[in-house]
Structure 1
Amino acid sequence: MYRAVVHGGAAHGPSDPWHLVRTAGTVLAVHAHPDDESLATGALLADLSSRGTRVVVVTATRGEEGEVVPGAIPEDDDRPLEEVRALEVRRALGALGVDEHHMLGEAPALAEGAAPRRYRDSGMRWVREGVAGPSETAGPTSFTHQDLDQEIADLSALIAHVRPDVVLGYDDQGTYGHPDHLRAHEATAGAARAQGVPFVEVASEPDPEAAADGEPFAFRDQPGSASALAAALRAYRTQLTVIGDLEGVPGGVRVRHVGGQIQDVPLRTGLRIPAESE
């Protein structure tokens, strides 16, 4: 059952993002790297899947630049990291109840007539306080260095193939400001606009007060998603460690990332329809 936590009020009907998402037959969620679908939208995707919504996820990159939790990959395992992370994302999506997954640049997420292409993880470095950019080693095939119109065309092809009622993507803060997340936001907004499909943004901040700047988000809880979210996050052994459950309402899962950062992943999601999409 949803419990509303709405900042700034909420409309009802077609202009309400939750109305769009809850009444959608098919939802397409766009993410930058393996694990983002679980960290940013895991509770929501599990909830939608449990309600019978067809959920499709597309991932832009394979997360090649990610660090690895020590001991997560055996020393005698010589697979490249992207292969390991491909298996992780499949397991995570299975835990969330999602059966359909695509990589951007591979059919059907590929513009008609184009040869298959790979969008490489751009990595991240802090350019200055609070502002991130691609890593210094990001090459021309990285997601942020390739042509935005090409990426929009590939994502548009997937939208035409999947025919979703709603496209879910990051807001303009890109969760924690990773350059691939910001590029994913641009590509998602552009492709949804080109295909005439409603674009619904997911709040970067899980706290309604922290997410109050700009257009308001409507927050709702997904309390029944706890076990699915925890299982999905445990699939990402190379990237994080699940260290506990969050108590109280809405609850959630606490993880430690490979760099040591602690993140609380709540069973709460904020959504909004950006002004340009209304």
Structure 2
Amino acid sequence: MSTDPWQLLGTARTVLAVHAHPDDESLSTGALLAALTADGTRVVLVTATRGEEGEIVPGAIADGDERPLEEIREQEIDAATAALGIAERHWLGTAPALAAGAAPRRYRDSGMAWVREGLAGPSPDAGPDSFSLAPLEQATDDLVALVEQSRPDVLIGYDDEGTYGHPDHVRAHHLAVAAAERTGVPLVQIASDAAAPGTVVRELPQVADAVERAVDSYRTQLTLRGPVEGGFAIRHVGGQDDTVALRAGLRG
């Protein structure tokens, strides 16, 4: 079997993308997933947490809207996945992403603390039900159940840096690796650094409209500032400026 990540994806009929929070699928892999669905690949998404610990962009929630943040973020992820053309999405710990015979369970957003600019680390407030502290074997059982149900040809997950070190991203990396090892389904990793050795980058400008709509779905978490060379400028809820790139760097 080829280990070239783009060749693996190019021949896949179904891929399963493993993400940590609502919006990660759009910010980290929006261009990739939109390009796959545009080419006719069935894309299934599993998200580990509901992003309960996220901050909220001022004014993003209407006065009088008393829904909990996780409920609003569920509405946002529904809109984003529709824009990207994703066939189906699931929460880890909810059937079919739930081990046989297990009671439904929620993996909570672990939160994070900035170690330095651009690098996140664990939050001191993460509880025992947080995704990053939940037993890896239990989470792997849940993901393997979804792999067996959806029968993907390839898994897509983070590399060991987890894009910027968020503990839930790093945990999602370990989860995807464990599920790939147990099931034999190859894993394609999203490179945290597109310039890292062994990374193969492709430009994907053809999916700009889909990515823009997906990113703009997350108004509690970011502000879409407009197109820039190679992607879209955004401002995160914490004030950090960033670019959502219309390309993907992959590692086998």
Q: Does 1:139 align with 2:127?
A: yes
Q: Distance in 1 between matches of 2:14 and 2:217?
A: 25
8 Å contact from structure 2 (residues 119, 164) kept in 1: no
Q: Does 1:238 align with 2:220?
A: yes
Q: Does 1:79 align with 2:58?
A: no
Q: Distance in 2 between matches of 1:267 and 1:71?
A: 28
Aligned-pair identity in percent equals 62
The gaps in structure 2 that reach 5 residues or longer are none
Q: Tell me the equivalent position of 1:8.
A: none
Secondary structure at the counterpart of residue 104 of structure 2: coil
Comparing 130-139 with 80-89, greater Cα deviation is found at 130-139
In the superposition, the TM-score normalised over structure 1's length comes to: 0.88
Q: Does 1:194 align with 2:182?
A: yes
The Cα of 1:132 is off from its aligned counterpart by 3.6
> Structure 1's 100 and 136: CA in aligned 2 closer, same or farther, altered over 3 A?
same
User: Pick from 86, 91, 95: which aligns with 1:107?
Assistant: 95
> Structure 1's 229 and 131: CA in aligned 2 closer, same or farther, altered over 3 A?
closer
The gaps in structure 1 that reach 5 residues or longer are 1-12, 274-278
8 Å contact from structure 2 (residues 34, 207) kept in 1: yes
The Cα of 1:172 is off from its aligned counterpart by 0.6
> Structure 1's 129 and 260: CA in aligned 2 closer, same or farther, altered over 3 A?
closer
In the superposition, the TM-score normalised over structure 2's length comes to: 0.97
Comparing 107-116 with 133-142, greater Cα deviation is found at 133-142
Secondary structure at the counterpart of residue 213 of structure 2: helix
Q: Tell me the equivalent position of 1:160.
A: 148
Alignment RMSD: 1.3
5 Å-filtered alignment, 1:1-278, equals 14-126=2-114, 132-205=120-193, 207-208=194-195, 211-212=196-197, 216-247=198-229, 251-273=230-252
Amino acid at match of 2:234: V
1:58-107 residue CA offsets vs partner (Å, 9 max, x unmatched): 00000000000000001200000000000000000000011300000000
> Structure 1's 130 and 261: CA in aligned 2 closer, same or farther, altered over 3 A?
closer
Number of residue equivalences: 252
Q: Distance in 2 between matches of 1:74 and 1:243?
A: 21
The Cα of 1:129 is off from its aligned counterpart by 7.8
